Amino acid sequence: MTDTALSQTAPAASQREMTIRGLILGALITIVFTASNIYLGLKIGLTVASSIPAAVISMSVLRAMGGSTILENNMVQTQASAAGTLSCVFVSLPCMVMIGYWQHFPYFETTLLTLAGGMTGVLFTVPLRRAMVTNSDLPYPEGVAAAEILKAGSESGSPESLRALLTGGLLSAVVTFATGGLRLLADGAAVTATWGGAIFRASTGFSLALLGAGYLVGIAGGLAMLIGTIIAWDVVVPILSVRLPNPAHLAAGDFATQIWTQKVRFLGAGTIAIAAIWTLALLARPVAAGIRDMLHAHGSADEDARMRDLSPRTLLLLTSLCLAILFVLFVTFQSPFAHGGAIVSAALAAVAFCALFGFLVAAACGYMAGIVGSSSSPLSGIAIIAIVLVASFMLLLEPLGLLPTEMSANGRHLAVAFSLYILSAIVASSAISNDNLQDLKTGQLVGASPWRQQVALLVGCVSGAIVIPPVLELLYQAYGFVGAMPHAGMNPDHALPAPQPALLTTIAIGIFQHQLDWTMILIGIALGIVLIVADILLRRAGGAMPPLAVGIGLYLPPAVSVTLAIGAIICWVCTRGPRKTEGGVATMLASGFIVGESLTGVLLAGVAGATGRDDTLALLPADATMLPSALGTLVFVAICLWFGHRIRGA
C-alpha cells in the first residue's frame, strides 16, 4: 500500500476505536443475530450475514448517543459479526442430541467447546492477514461492502454515496419483505426438461443481496461458479437421472433435486477438498512471507500501528490455552464411558488434529470467503470434508491402540459421538475463520488497527459462546429436531428439520460402519485435478478459472451460484467502455442490496422465531405459485436492467 493510500485511510489520532459502550452494544447485537441465525439454520439450513446489519445498527445507535467514529462502529460490527458467525455451530452440535449421546445441551461444556474452537479460528487467521488481506487482490465482497457502508455513514461520507446506499437498501428491503414475508414474489425460478430419460434443470434465485455480492465478486469468480453449476445440473444430474432408479416416482424436478442433494453435493465436496489443498499449496509461500514479516516487524520502532497484529507471544499463549481447554474437554467427554491411558492418547490425537486441520481450514475458508463472501462460502461442505477426515482418522488410530477399547463396542457408538464432538470444535474454528478475514478487510479499508480488531473478534467469540447454548436448548425443548424429540407427545410436524446435522450424523455412522459410498467424493477429487490443470493452462493464456470457485458452484444451490454469476456478468458488461459510472456509486448500490436484504432477513427471522412459523405474514396460500413466479421474475429482471443502467450512467 502506498503512503498516499495509507494517509487516506489513516484514522485521526483523536478518533475512538475500542470503547466500553461499543463492547456492550456489540454484545447486545450478538443476542439478536445468534438467536436468529441458529433458528434459521436449524429450520432451513441457511443463515443471514451479520456483519453488515451490525454495522448499520451500530451506526444508528452510536450516532444517537453522540461522539461516534467510523472506527468505533467498525469495532462493534467486528465483534457482532464474529459472534453471529459462531452460531454456525448449529451445523454440528445438534448431532450430539440426534445420536442420543446428549439429552440436552450442557451449558458449560457447550460454551467451552464453542469458545475454544471459535478462538482458535481467530488465532489461526492472524498470521494469514498480511498474505490474504494486505497483499492480496481477493475481492472480499462483504468486507468491501461493510467498509463502504461505514464510510457513507460517517461524518465525512459523501451525500451521493449515502443516497446510493439508501436507494439500494430500501429497494432490496421491499423486495425481500414481499418475497420472504408477504410471499407475493417468488424467490427464484426453475425450468426442468427431460430428454430420453435424462433430466436437465436450469434455475436461478432472485436475491438482490446475491446480485450485489456478485457485482463485488467480479467476473472470474462469478463465471467459475456458473461453470460449476452447469457441470452439476446439465452434465452430472442428467447422467445420474438415467442411471439411478426412481422408486418413489418423483416428478422430474424433484428427482433431479434429490440426485443433487444425495449425490452431486458429495462430488462438489470432493472437488472443494482437492481444490482447497491446491489453493493452500499456492498460498504457502506468501503466507510464510507474511508470518516472517509479522515476526520481524513486531516490536520494531518503525512499525506502523495500522499494520500491527497481536504479538507472537500473545498468539502462542492464547492458542496454547485454547488447545488445553480442548484437551480437557476431550478427556472429560470419554471418561464416563472409557478407562485407561488410551483416553489421554485419544484426546492428544484429537487436539493435534484440531490444531493442524484447523489451521489449514482457516486458510481455505478465508480464501473462499475472499472469493465469494462469507454468506456464500460453503461451510457445510467444509463440515462434510471435516467429518470424513475426523472419522477416518479415528479408524486409523484404532488398530494402533490409541483409542479406548470402549470405542469399538456397541457399533462404535462412542467413536461416532467423539468424532462429532471433535467436529464441533472444528466447525466453530472454520466459521470464525470464514468471517474474520472479511472483517479485517473492512478494517484495512477504513484504517482500523488490526490488533484491536483481533481483540474484538476474540471478544465476539466470548459473547457468542455464552449465548449459543441457551438458544440451542430453548429451540430444542420448544420444537425438537426431526428424529430427536425431547418430550413424549410433541408434534413431529413442528420439529426443526436440522438438515446439516442430520447429514453429518449419517456420514459419520456410514464411515464407522463401512457403509459410506465414496464414489462421488472420489470422482469430485478427480474432477478437481482436471480443473486445476485447466486453470494452470488458462492462466498461461491470460485467463483464469479458480477451481475452488467451480467446486463451490457444484456444491451450492443454483439459486446462490447463478444469481452471483448474474451480478458478476452485469458488472463485467456494464463497466466496459467509456460510459461507465464512477465505481463508488455502483459499489454503494450493490452494498445497499446486501444491507436491505440482511436487515429484513433478521426482521423476518425474529417474526418466525416468535410465532414458530415462517409464513405468518403471507398474503397468498402456499399452493399459489403462478402469480408470485411471474411477478418475481419481472421484478428481478427490471431491477437487473435498472442496476446496469445506473452502472453505465446512461
Measured CA to CA, the distance from residue 69 to residue 237 in angstroms comes to 52
Name the most confidently modeled range: 65-74, 163-172, 313-322, 470-479: 313-322
Does residue 646 carry a pLDDT above 80? yes
Which residue's entry shows cell 472437488?
271
pLDDT in the model for residue 325: 94
Q: Where are the alpha helices (DSSP H) in 141-251?
A: 141-153, 159-176, 208-217, 219-231, 237-243
pLDDT in the model for residue 171: 93
pLDDT in the model for residue 188: 87
pLDDT in the model for residue 13: 41
Higher per-residue confidence, 577 vs 74: 74
Measured CA to CA, the distance from residue 232 to residue 553 in angstroms comes to 8
Using 50, 70 and 90 to split pLDDT, how confident is the model at 303? low
Does residue 301 carry a pLDDT above 90? no
Cα 326 to its chain centre, rounded Å, is: 23
- For the stretch 170-194, pLDDT in tens is 999 999 899 888 889 988 888 888 8
Does residue 45 carry a pLDDT above 50? yes
Does residue 588 carry a pLDDT above 70? yes
SS3 443: helix
Measured CA to CA, the distance from residue 369 to residue 543 in angstroms comes to 21
- For the stretch 442-497, pLDDT in tens is 888 888 888 888 888 888 888 888 888 888 888 788 777 877 788 777 667 667 77
CB 47 within 8 A of CB 376: no
Which residue's entry shows cell 422408486?
247
CB burial of residue 400 (10 Å; 0-12, 13-18, 19+): exposed
Sequence spans of domains, the chain: 15-192+250-540+594-613
Using 50, 70 and 90 to split pLDDT, how confident is the model at 11? very low
Share of the chain above pLDDT 70, in %: 86
Measured CA to CA, the distance from residue 169 to residue 190 in angstroms comes to 26
Higher per-residue confidence, 110 vs 556: 110
pLDDT in the model for residue 584: 60
Does residue 12 carry a pLDDT above 50? no
Name the most confidently modeled range: 108-122, 406-420, 513-527, 550-564: 108-122
Q: Give the lowest-confidence range in 60-69, 407-416, 526-535, 583-592.
A: 583-592
pLDDT in the model for residue 89: 83
Does residue 198 carry a pLDDT above 70? yes
pLDDT in the model for residue 3: 37
- For the stretch 337-373, pLDDT in tens is 777 778 888 899 999 998 888 888 877 777 777 776 6
pLDDT in the model for residue 210: 83
- Angle at which helices 342-372 and 265-297 pack, to 10 degrees? 90
Does residue 559 carry a pLDDT above 80? yes
Does residue 295 carry a pLDDT above 70? no
- Angle at which helices 547-555 and 519-540 pack, to 10 degrees? 140
Higher per-residue confidence, 298 vs 331: 331
Name the most confidently modeled range: 1-5, 311-315, 440-444, 631-635: 631-635
Does residue 635 carry a pLDDT above 90? yes
Measured CA to CA, the distance from residue 564 to residue 142 in angstroms comes to 13
Determine the residue type at 365: C
Torsion, Cα of 41, 42, 44, 50 (10° steps): -20
Name the most confidently modeled range: 48-62, 127-141, 263-277, 413-427: 413-427
Does residue 591 carry a pLDDT above 90? no
Higher per-residue confidence, 44 vs 563: 563
pLDDT in the model for residue 374: 64
- For the stretch 379-436, pLDDT in tens is 777 788 888 888 888 888 888 888 888 887 777 888 888 999 999 999 888 888 877 7
Higher per-residue confidence, 555 vs 256: 256
pLDDT in the model for residue 305: 57
Beta-carbon contacts of residue 427 (< 8 Å; ≥ 6 apart): 88, 89, 91, 92, 117, 379, 382, 383, 386
Residue 69 sits at φ, ψ, to 5 deg, of: -130, 165
Does residue 597 carry a pLDDT above 50? yes
Q: Which residue in 81, 109, 27, 124 sits closest to 318, CA to CA? A: 124
Average pLDDT over every residue of 507-533: 88
- For the stretch 502-515, pLDDT in tens is 778 888 888 888 87
Q: From the CB of residue 100, how many other CB atoms can be counted at a distance below 10 Å?
A: 11
Higher per-residue confidence, 105 vs 285: 105
Does residue 87 carry a pLDDT above 60? yes
Using 50, 70 and 90 to split pLDDT, how confident is the model at 151? confident
Using 50, 70 and 90 to split pLDDT, how confident is the model at 577? low
Measured CA to CA, the distance from residue 404 to residue 340 in angstroms comes to 7
Does residue 538 carry a pLDDT above 90? no
